[in-house]
Amino acid sequence: MVGAMTPRAIARMEPGLVALVDRLLDAIAERGEADIIEDFATHIPLNIIGDLFDMPMQDRGPLRGWSLAILGALEPVLTPAQEAAGNRAVTEFKAYLKDLTEARRIKPGDPETDVLTRLMQSEEGELSLDELLQNCIFILNAGHETTTNLIGNALAALNDHPAERARLAGDPGLIATAVDEFLRYESPNQFGNRLTTRDVELSGIAIPEGTDLHLCIGAANRDETAFERAETLDLGRRPNKHLAFAGGAHTCVGLSLARLEGSVAVGRFLNRFPNYAITDRQRSPRLRFRGFTRLGVSAV
């Protein structure tokens, strides 16, 4: 996966990403209003991920539903319905991926651009079939909801902070630091999980081996000892060592792609609709992922 996300590979994706974003903005302009989540933010990562796997356009319809069901089953407390929906989505998605994998065995893609072919070429020595399918599912889940939330949270934050919005509109070159600040200020992924492999002590608290830890990324990114004015949105913040992409051995493989998607989507939306206004919003009830299920906007 690291090899599939090189700067050169990311650069090749940018023209297609820009074209996709502009088509979505054209559709919003025609209507004059939209739901930022359903009509804009969700389409961007789903199409990028579909392109990464070279999925036929007609096959991409179920991806969002599968992803939402699987991620919904990762909440700290589950209902039986959430668990059943998550397991059903995994089963359906794996069945589709098996068919796609068989088609790709007959006609391999270019491993420089087709992540599925790239992973399949590693399968012989490194990945079992089930590991291959599970990695494909993981890539969808890791790149879909988080990037959707990044875009939605960013546009909501700009609406709510008019001075910072005017700052970015007046200096579009701030978009790179702005995206990292959106990731810090409204972390799309609020929790990470780790299982302790030995007894450990943190801040004087003894944690035994085999403990399931919920790491609060969103809280860490508002830590006053790590960030000056942590509760303030500062689009030019430097340094900004947030943990939205984790770190060390667990650093998100797709961080460069996520930054590109966020920069293109938010920057071009603001440029196209400098006077947009959020008209209604509905927060997602989930704890692990912070975002909106609806974000109505008047684009005038």
9-59: pLDDT as tens digits: 888 889 999 999 999 999 999 999 999 999 999 999 999 999 988 999 999
Give the rounded percent of residues in the chain with a pLDDT score beyond 70.
98
Tens-digit pLDDT profile for residues 235-278: 999 999 999 999 888 888 889 999 999 999 999 999 999 999 99
- pLDDT at residue 193 in the model: 86
Write down the pTM of the prediction.
0.93
The partner residues of 277 in beta bridges, in order of sequence, read: 298
Helix (H, G, I), strand (E, B) or coil at 128: coil
Distance of CA 66 to the CA centre of its chain: 15
The answer to whether 276 and 269 are in contact (CB under 8 A) is yes
With bands split at pLDDT 50, 70 and 90, how would you rate the model's confidence at 140? confident
Q: CA dist 80 to 48, 64, 92, 168, Å? A: 32, 21, 18, 45
- The whole-angstrom separation of Cα 198 and Cα 211 is 9
- pLDDT at residue 3 in the model: 72
- pLDDT at residue 290 in the model: 95
- The whole-angstrom separation of Cα 48 and Cα 53 is 9
- pLDDT at residue 142 in the model: 84
Helix (H, G, I), strand (E, B) or coil at 265: helix
The answer to whether 22 and 271 are in contact (CB under 8 A) is no
116 closest CA partner among 100, 128, 131, 127: 100
Tokens representing 167 are 């700052």
- pLDDT at residue 26 in the model: 97
Helix (H, G, I), strand (E, B) or coil at 214: strand
- The whole-angstrom separation of Cα 204 and Cα 150 is 35
Tens-digit pLDDT profile for residues 105-127: 999 998 888 888 888 886 556 77
- The whole-angstrom separation of Cα 28 and Cα 25 is 5
Mean pLDDT of the chain: 93
Those residues whose C-beta lies under 8 Å from the C-beta of residue 130, and which sit 6 or more positions away, are none
- The whole-angstrom separation of Cα 104 and Cα 31 is 40
- pLDDT at residue 64 in the model: 92
Phi-psi region of 140 (alpha: psi -120 to 50; beta: other; left: phi over 0): alpha
- The whole-angstrom separation of Cα 93 and Cα 16 is 25
- pLDDT at residue 300 in the model: 64
A 10 A CB-CB count for 214 gives: 13
Provide the angle, in degrees to the nearest 10, between the axes of the packed helices 7-31 and 255-272: 30
- pLDDT at residue 125 in the model: 60
The answer to whether 110 and 117 are in contact (CB under 8 A) is yes
Tokens representing 41 are 């933010």
Pick 3-298's CATH classification: 1.10.1060.10, 3.40.50.720, 3.50.50.60, 1.10.630.10: 1.10.630.10
Tokens representing 25 are 């903005």
- The whole-angstrom separation of Cα 65 and Cα 257 is 22
